[in-house]
Structure 1
Amino acid sequence: MYVLENGDPQAPPVLLLHGGGVAGWMWRPTLDRLGGAARVIVPDLPGHGNSAGETYRSHAETARALAEVLEERAPRGALVAGFSLGAQLTTLLAATRPDLVTGAVVVSAQARPLRFPGTTLGLLSAAAPLARQRWFARLQAKELFVPAELLDDYVRDSALVSRATLLASVGENIRFTLPAGWSRFENPALVMVGERERTLMRDSARDIHDALPGSRMISVPGCGHGIPLQRPDLFAEILAEQV
């Protein structure tokens, strides 16, 4: 798994986990605003970006690999912040390896499984070749609030995502339920959701917050499913406050 580090080596470590279909580059606007407040660890998850050669298989396998990254690069633990698919992985890491997670920021995680995942995955499989078409990738980028300066990164990496990775990562995403250990996580946790996200996402945020006593929840005005890209200034400010 490709991992990029930047920032002051002596600063508190932060692990940033991107969403499905994008890669570590999605954090660039946040990093520009975060400055030297943190030592940032940014992996490209399996099947994505510079890790596209390795197929995404499961959340559980990916969480174990991320724990190994933390054991090597932040053995005393790190603040873990994740978006969408990365937010699900954040809750899983906090639940299974709380010794490595000093705090959790969970952004736009789905926590209620879809009723008919097979239908969704069947449609997705049929549409998978479209991801290699530039016009389709540009349409998807708009839906994900990818800014103009990151559009080329999105179009390039969309074409690299294999059908196997797409089906496995989306399948894990739409079947996801909160891990049992999440309710026992004792370090600070913040749950974020866009005010304009789908009802499913807003309800999921409430479920995640309600499942963990002492957690905080923020609904971000004017945002859809893309808080770190729509409001990188706010997101960087929140990370700086958490470390």
Structure 2
Amino acid sequence: MRPEKPFCIGIIGGMGPRATVHFQNLLLEATGEKTDQEYPPFICASASRLPDRSRLLAEGRGEELAQRLAEIGRKLEDAGATVLVMPCLTAHAVWPSLQPLLKIPLLDLAALTARDLLTRDPPLHRIGVLATTATLRERVFERHFTGVNPRQVMAVTDVFQTEIMNLIFGIKGGYKAWHGDRLRALADQMRASGAKAIILGCTELSLATEMMRGLGVPIFDPLRIAAAELVRQFRSTFYSCSGPVP
């Protein structure tokens, strides 16, 4: 019988590269320990050459996207990963078809975010999602707000969505202070329109989270939620080990 592999995070990254590095920093912040050995080990594959996820989905090539992501996930597993994370929420449109192609768990960032939101008391019934057009069209978050715990995901105008897309691609080229100011202004528009909570539904937007303080509604950042979950999983194995973590 093969021995159980030690806990190791595999990051399917490069979508985009800055968001991937940002996520690694969030992992370190969420851990907050003093010694090297107390930080979770991770392996990262930067798949920056992967075609644009929004374009593949718009062309009906979601299965192709899932297959290509699975190839990367399997390489990470072969390298020692025991759990996978994908810092790209547009790519989560294919999570339902991607996970069965893998032997190890792939965190569903949208599901984790929905779980956090659904546990809030009092309930947050009207949700604003700042995300790519593909993420909204594929209902990446909305599919988790049905059944016994329905939530309304607010519709946005074409003009508003164009501004969000311009902001996302601007951040991909390098985050600047005005990006944060613009994101806050757009989030404030959403709040004024009735949003009781806002999800930063694109990983690039997580770079501007600090600018969202004091907005008046809860802000849910899937990258920070995922980092906290992975640290929780790591600690559950770290403290259950009788010997040192490799």
Q: Determine if the TM-score, normalized by the shorter chain, exceeds 0.5.
A: no
Report the TM-score range of the alignment, normalised by the length of the smaller protein. Answer: 0.3 to 0.5
Pair member with larger Rg:
2
